[in-house]
Structure 1
Amino acid sequence: MDQLKSDLKAIVADAEALMRSSAASASASAAQLRERLREARHDLRDLQANAVNKTRAAGQAADDFVHDKPWRSIAVAAGVGFLVGMLIGRR
């Protein structure tokens, strides 16, 4: 997700630099480029907002589970720790 976000930011920055360098050109292609740049910015904001919302929802679900079932959470954590320990011990 972070790689996609950084790639999109780089594309937007390159497009902005291209627009500044050709600011004197008022052709139809420049107008199309501006519109595509606006769309890319909008898509980037939507992507970021979506990622933040999903992360918050996952964190809230985990928090609710741990508060509703603390002993089960401890048992799951212990089981995962045991399995990781077994895997590390085999090497």
Structure 2
Amino acid sequence: MDQTTPQNPNAGSPQQLRSDSSADRERLLSHLREAVSDAEQWLSSAVKDGPAEIEHAKGQFQETLRNAKTDLLKLEDSVLARGKLAAQAADGYVHDNPWIAVGCGAAVGLALGMLITRR
């Protein structure tokens, strides 16, 4: 298995990654709410005001979308880093305890086989 480290230099403990991803998630939701609000304001100003106000609202809306995209990419990086850490931990556990892993796999296979043959 690839033993590369996560790209995020701040990626440390799993708890740190959880707090980073939850903060990124909240920031993303905030930017998306702001984008929806800006879109509503843009539509209402398009009816009331002239082209100058529309261009200003459009610029603000595009900036909000850029921020949301940036936060989404950060959240994606955080989730990928957590997934890599989980895969590395599982790989290490299986290498340290191969018979337990084989037993768990056999038990899961047996349970799934019984469920499939019941139907």
Q: What's the TM-score once normalised by structure 2's chain length?
A: 0.51
Instruction: Say if 1:70 and 1:25 are closer, same or farther in 2 by CA, change over 3 A.
Output: farther
> Which contiguous aligned blocks of 4+ residues in structure 1 show a shift greater than 2 angstroms?
24-28
Percent identity between matched residues is: 41
- Which consecutive residues of structure 2, in runs of 5 or more, have no partner in the other structure? 1-31, 33-50
Would you say how many aligned residue pairs link Structure 1 and Structure 2? 71
- The structure with the greater share of residues assigned to helix is 1
Determine which of 46, 51, 64 is the counterpart of 1:36. Answer: 64
After superposition, the C-alpha distances for 1:66-90 in whole angstroms (9 at most, x for unaligned) are 0110010000001111111111121
Q: What's the TM-score once normalised by structure 1's chain length?
A: 0.64
After superposition, the C-alpha distances for 1:9-67 in whole angstroms (9 at most, x for unaligned) are xxxxxxxxxxxxxxx95843133113202211211211210221121111111101101
Partner of 1:88: 116
The Cα RMSD (Å) is: 2.6
Structure with bigger RCO (C-alpha 8 Å, 6+ apart): 2
